[in-house]
């Protein structure tokens, strides 16, 4: 017996729920790729992406997922043999580093903790020890969706400057852009990248990079450059050069609709919505954790991100029965645990096109599953979330 009906509801950190207006924007014929409205749309999208990255630099759009945008960022500024410093705080900065190694870079990992954020002081110390300036770039995620951590990019940028080091600061904003503040120029970020399927509320398939002046200078001598990812080609005047070929038209239509929704809400309002829904989720999880069976993966409250909450079992038990119950009995798909917590937890996404009813529904299903499976948990998690939002969103 189950109580599910209709399609499954995704409460996973990508692909997230796509708004109906964004899906509807794709239901139209293809148009001429060489002139007219599509050219103007490309210009508008590139300008708006730069606004969201908060940079006076240039933005680029690729027909690619986030891994493609990783490669675009790397190949445009690095040469084979360059050393990159990867700041470990989960799984995805390590993955970016693995991509850099396959492309011919030397990779050094600054060891971190799967349950903590990057320590800016450790970054500063490592850079100060690099007296010969061998490190050419630093790779870090603003949010790592595997661990649920948020890294203080502003503080990391300050650490780089305090060390007096010339390495490029490169940031993965896949799980943060459009959901929380990111100040590329103000924080001293040289290259940023993202994907379409999370906070930007668009189907998977578009990747983005943004380049500041130091990145563009490094680009001039980079020898990893390739025809598809190359910024110089995409800076050409002919429209098809912006995509190194045929534009992904229908995804561009979708992105336009999604960005229009985001700007209509207002970025600051979207950031506040994410903060509120994230804290409501944390109130529920904190209550459940009183049963001593589950815990937050990120041990320090201030290092928990506003886009996904990662939950682990305290004694390393499998969380699969709970995940299966939510999906099979209620139609709610939770994110599976990744990295060091693989199989020993689950993740609740609260990013992109998400609101209070969606969060309450997800939390209620998890609480139902905890009860149905007889798993120890503190009672009243959903009520704790409701009470928090009731106080935080006044009449």
Q: Say if residues 319 and 366 touch (Cβ distance below 8 Å).
A: no
pLDDT tens digits, the chain, 395 residues: what are they? 789 888 899 999 989 999 999 999 999 999 998 878 999 999 999 999 999 999 999 999 999 999 999 999 999 999 999 999 999 999 999 999 999 999 999 999 999 999 999 999 999 999 999 999 999 999 999 999 999 999 999 999 999 999 999 999 999 999 999 999 999 999 999 999 999 999 999 999 999 999 999 999 999 999 999 999 999 999 999 999 999 999 999 999 999 999 999 999 999 999 999 999 999 999 999 999 999 999 999 999 999 999 999 999 999 999 999 999 999 999 999 999 999 899 999 999 999 999 999 999 999 999 999 999 999 999 999 999 999 999 999 99
Using alpha carbons only, how large is the chain's radius of gyration in Å? 21
Q: Say if residues 297 and 311 touch (Cβ distance below 8 Å).
A: yes
Specify the pLDDT at position 36. 86
Instruction: Report CA-CA distances (Å) from 320 to 334, 343, 345.
Output: 10, 7, 8
Angle (CA) 278-279-281 rounded to 5° is 65
Specify the pLDDT at position 116. 98
Q: Say if residues 93 and 172 touch (Cβ distance below 8 Å).
A: yes
Q: Say if residues 300 and 383 touch (Cβ distance below 8 Å).
A: no
d(CA 395, CA 388): 14
Instruction: Report CA-CA distances (Å) from 209 to 46, 76, 177, 184, 371.
Output: 10, 10, 12, 11, 45
Specify the pLDDT at position 309. 98
Provide the 3-class DSSP secondary structure of residue 334. strand
d(CA 106, CA 86): 10
The structure tokens listed for 200 are 């930007």
d(CA 338, CA 67): 17
Phi, psi at 155, each rounded to 5°: -65, -35
Place of tokens 């009731």: 390
How many CA atoms within 13 Å lie on the side-chain side of 168?
A: 28
């Amino acid at each position: 017996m189950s109580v599910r009906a209709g399609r499954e509801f995704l409460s996973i950190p990508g692909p997230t729920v796509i708004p109906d207006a964004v899906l509807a924007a794709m239901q139209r014929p293809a148009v001429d790729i060489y002139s007219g409205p599509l050219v103007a749309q490309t210009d508008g999208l590139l300008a708006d992406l730069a606004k969201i990255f908060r940079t006076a630099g240039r933005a680029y759009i690729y027909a690619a997922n986030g891994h493609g945008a990783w490669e675009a960022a790397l190949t445009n500024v690095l040469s084979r043999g360059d050393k990159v410093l990867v700041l470990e705080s989960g799984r995805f900065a390590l993955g970016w580093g693995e991509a850099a190694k396959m492309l011919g870079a030397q990779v050094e990992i600054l060891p971190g903790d799967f349950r903590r954020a990057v320590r800016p002081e450790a970054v500063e110390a490592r850079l100060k020890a690099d007296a010969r300036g061998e490190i050419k770039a630093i790779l870090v995620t603003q949010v790592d969706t595997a661990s649920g951590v948020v890294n203080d990019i502003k503080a990391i940028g300050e650490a780089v400057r305090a060390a007096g080091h010339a390495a490029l600061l490169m940031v993965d904003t896949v799980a943060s852009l459009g959901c929380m503040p990111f100040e590329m120029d103000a924080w001293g970020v040289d290259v940023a990248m993202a994907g379409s399927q999370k906070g930007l509320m668009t189907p998977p398939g578009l990747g983005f990079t943004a380049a500041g002046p130091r990145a563009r200078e490094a680009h001039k001598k980079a020898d990893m450059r390739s025809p598809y990812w190359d910024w110089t080609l995409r800076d050409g005047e002919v429209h098809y050069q912006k995509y190194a070929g045929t534009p992904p038209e229908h995804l561009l239509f979708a992105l336009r609709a999604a960005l229009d929704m985001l700007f209509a809400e207002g970025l600051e309002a979207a950031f506040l919505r994410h903060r509120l829904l994230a804290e409501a989720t944390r109130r529920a999880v904190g209550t459940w954790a009183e049963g001593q069976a589950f815990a937050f993966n990120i041990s320090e409250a201030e290092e928990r991100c506003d886009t996904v909450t990662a939950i682990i079992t305290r004694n390393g038990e499998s969380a699969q029965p709970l995940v299966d119950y939510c999906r099979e009995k209620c139609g709610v798909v939770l994110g599976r645990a990744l990295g060091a917590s693989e199989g020993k937890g689950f993740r609740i996404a609260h990013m992109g096109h998400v609101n209070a009813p969606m969060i309450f529904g997800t939390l209620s299903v998890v609480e139902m599953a905890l009860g149905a499976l007889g798993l120890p948990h503190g009672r009243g998690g959903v009520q704790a979330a409701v009470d928090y939002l009731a106080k935080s969103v006044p009449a």
